[in-house]
Structure 1
């Protein structure tokens, strides 16, 4: 297991030093960049005063995206499961017919 190393990220014109392992570095940088972009969108659109309010609104937007994606994935998983069950029934029927 790799040791944690400090990584500098920039979010809304501020610099943060975050410890992470080398294999987590790219993910951390991508997440920080995404968060920075969302916070900038909120600041520009809402003209929200204060970094704390901007951070909360950005977090709510990101949480909404996550919930929406999870719901979409669950719906797709259910559809796939139904298709797999239908295929299984057809295969079982075809195999049963070929054994006779």
Structure 2
């Protein structure tokens, strides 16, 4: 297990996570925080608790809708984004290694 420092809604949290799940957890953090920011920008929901609940509810609804419709498009897109992020990281690390 690894301890990760994450930020959601401007608040810092430390959570434990298996090392092999770190990348997917960070993507989940980014998804949730992005959804929260979107709800805040719309200005229709007031209060941190309500905004967080609406964001979580929206994400859960989307996941269940995909599951019930038998659509794996969301997971395919998620995997593609993860692979792209890994490629970007690998390229950045390669360039970083050249500096030393």
TM-score (norm 2): 0.65
Structure 2 residue 26 is the aligned partner of structure 1 residue 29: yes
TM-score (norm 1): 0.65
Stretches of structure 1 that go unaligned for 5 or more consecutive residues are 75-100
Match of 2:45 in 1: 48
- Count of paired positions: 71
Match of 2:12 in 1: 15
- After TM superposition, which residue ranges in structure 1, 4 or more long, deviate above 3 angstroms? none
Mapping of residues 1-100 of structure 1, within 5 Å: 4-73=1-70
Q: Aligned-pair distance for 1:47?
A: 4.1
Superposed CA offset, 1:4-63 (max 9, x none): 111011111111111011101111101001000011111111342221000111111111
